[in-house]
């Protein structure tokens, strides 16, 4: 009878160890999948940011040159976007080279780093879009106002008035 209890306990311990190892393996797999998915999302966000910045350049061209100079400088972030894309590539290379051997703590840190980068860029893109919407509204209001000005006033400006 004691042998039976020992056998049941041994089988229970083996099942428990297998369950723990299975849980760790699934967590690790989820972390790796999350890293790859987050890298894809970050890359897509960087491409979206670059596209939105290019679209904003056309809006900025409609504003007065003194304001446009500052806006153009702000929109000239192609080097930062390229650096972000290189960073995503470095993350992918790290995952490829070290992902399977990395500890869960390292995987968790890598996930957190991608989350922080995504949140930062997403927040900046939101600010860019909000500023762009405001700029479009103000620019359109200025254009509408100029269209309503009397012709005599327009000529005075064109002849040298400000």
Token look-up 């900046």 returns 124
* pTM > 0.85: yes or no: no
Residue 52 is predicted with a pLDDT of: 85
Is the distance from CB of 115 to CB of 31 less than 8 angstroms? no
Confidence label for 39 from pLDDT (cuts 50, 70 and 90): very high
- How long, in residues, is the chain? 162
Encode pLDDT of 105-125 as tens digits. Answer: 999 999 999 999 999 988 888
Tell me the domain boundaries of the chain: 28-141
Torsional sign, CA 82, 88, 89, 94: positive
**CA–CA distance from 73 to each of 34, 63, 79, 138 (Å)?**
35, 14, 12, 19
Q: What percent of the chain clears pLDDT 90, i.e. is strictly above it?
A: 25
> Tens digit of pLDDT for each residue in 128-145?
788 777 777 777 777 777
Measured CA to CA, the distance from residue 113 to residue 119 in angstroms comes to 10
């Amino acid at each position: 009878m004691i042998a039976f209890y020992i056998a049941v306990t041994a089988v229970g311990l083996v099942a428990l160890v297998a369950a723990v190892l299975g849980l760790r393996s699934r967590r690790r797999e989820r972390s790796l999948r999350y890293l790859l998915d987050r890298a894809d999302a970050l890359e897509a966000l960087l491409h979206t940011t670059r596209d939105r910045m290019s679209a904003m350049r056309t809006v900025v061209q409609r504003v007065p040159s003194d304001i446009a100079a500052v806006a153009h400088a702000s929109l000239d972030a192609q080097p930062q976007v390229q650096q972000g894309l290189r960073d995503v590539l470095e993350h992918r290379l790290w995952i490829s080279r070290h992902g399977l051997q990395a500890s869960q703590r390292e995987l968790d840190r890598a996930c957190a780093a991608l989350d922080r980068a995504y949140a930062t860029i997403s927040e900046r893109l939101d600010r860019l879009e909000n500023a762009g919407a405001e700029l479009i509204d103000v620019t359109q209001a200025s254009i509408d106002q100029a269209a309503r000005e009397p012709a005599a006033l327009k000529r005075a400006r064109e002849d040298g008035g400000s």
